[in-house]
Amino acid sequence: MQNTAAIRPCQYKTGKTLGSGTYAVVREATHIETEQKYACKIINKQFIEGREYLVRNEIAVLQRISSRHPNIVTLHDYFETHRNLYLCFDLCTGGELFHRICSKGNYYEADAAALVRTILAAVKYIHDCGIVHRDLKPENLLFQTEADDANIMIADFGLSRIMDEERMTLLTGVCGTAGYMAPEVFRDAGHGKPVDVWAMGVITYFLLAGYTPFDRDTPEAETAAIVAGDVKFEPAEFWANVSPTAREFVQACLTVDPAARPTAAEALQHRWLTAATPHFVPDP
């Protein structure tokens, strides 16, 4: 893969649209010679004028973690035309975790624990590389195939930043998606790796209950709930089949003080994830 975008004749046939986000549309693309299929993130240069750094950042991040972790989408190719930038990734045909949660209602606890363990291990890997994802949410977690036990992959490093461990330990600036954003992001007190662990807490809550913990009637109320760490395992009927250990894991990830929040490595050692089967003790 080249370091700088090369303008060259198109080697791909684009197909159906897979999804779209803030600056990009993602389409299926087939390499004409090899017939290999990819997911091609197409970014219109017009939309990102003045913000090209966001894309360059995404490419730099992806290049840094291109050692092909099985749970992180690999960037295979990168090129541009006069109008667009094209980034070709592993094609994930199984859709977003978001859609699976919505169609299942919620996950069985053992399945949720297995999924969280896998995602968190990939998060620990990117953290060990000095990278913070900053936009972990079920829309950015994709299944490689349609199979029920398909491999899950972290995608969309568009908002992540390379952490220069020597010069900068804190990041500032508001970004991300409100419902998954950590309290320190709103306090503008800088945010580093702990924001990803917070997001894992929100994702785990969502997997177990089928709804997110900080949904409120207004954005102001939502922010207030996040900043206060106001997590309730309610209504009770949605939590009746969830073990106290699982709730304890969620609560630990949703620790308001980022310094007191477990790191990804520590969260992986939580007994909810180390147990072969979750400790299920029904409520009295």
Q: Which residues are known catalytic residues?
A: 135
| Min dist. Cβ of residue 77 to ligand ADP (A) | 12
Residue 224: strand, helix, or coil: helix
Among 113, 59, 120, CA closest to 86: 59
Summarize the annotated binding site for ATP as residue ranges: 41
Rounded distance, CA 165 to CA 124, Å? 15
CA angle 131, 132, 136 (to 5 degrees): 135
| Min dist. Cβ of residue 229 to ligand ADP (A) | 27
| Min dist. Cβ of residue 59 to ligand ADP (A) | 12
Residue 125: strand, helix, or coil: helix
160: contact with Mg ion by CB under 5 A: no
| Min dist. Cβ of residue 158 to ligand ADP (A) | 4
Q: Which does 41 bind (CB under 5 to 8 A by kind): ligand ADP, Mg ion, none?
A: ligand ADP
Q: Which amino acid is at 258?
A: P
| Contact with Mg ion (CB under 5 A) among 140, 160, 204, 243 | 140
Q: Which is nearer to Mg ion, 131 or 250 (CB)?
A: 131
Q: Which is nearer to ligand ADP, 24 or 113 (CB)?
A: 24
Q: Which amino acid is at 85?
A: L
| Min dist. Cβ of residue 25 to Mg ion (A) | 12
Rounded distance, CA 284 to CA 282, Å? 6
Binding site for ligand ADP (CB under 6 A): 18-24, 26, 39, 41, 73, 89-92, 96, 139-140, 142, 155-156, 158
Tokens of 129: 């590389």
Q: Which is nearer to ligand ADP, 109 or 156 (CB)?
A: 156
Identify which range of 15-23, 43-51, 253-261, 268-276 contacts Mg ion by CB under 5 A: 15-23
CB 208 within 8 A of CB 272: no
Identify which range of 20-28, 85-93, 116-124, 250-258 contacts Mg ion by CB under 5 A: 20-28
Summarize the annotated binding site as residue ranges: 41
Q: Which sign, positive or negative, has the C-alpha torsion 101, 239, 111, 132? A: positive
Q: Which sign, positive or negative, has the C-alpha torsion 248, 201, 213, 107? A: negative
The CA–CA distances, whole Å, from 89 to 4, 24, 92 equal 17, 14, 9
Q: Which does 115 bind (CB under 5 to 8 A by kind): Mg ion, ligand ADP, none?
A: none
The residue whose Cβ lies closest to ligand ADP is: 21
First to last CA, the chain: 58
21: contact with Mg ion by CB under 5 A: yes
Contacting positions for Mg ion (CB under 5 A):
21, 140, 156
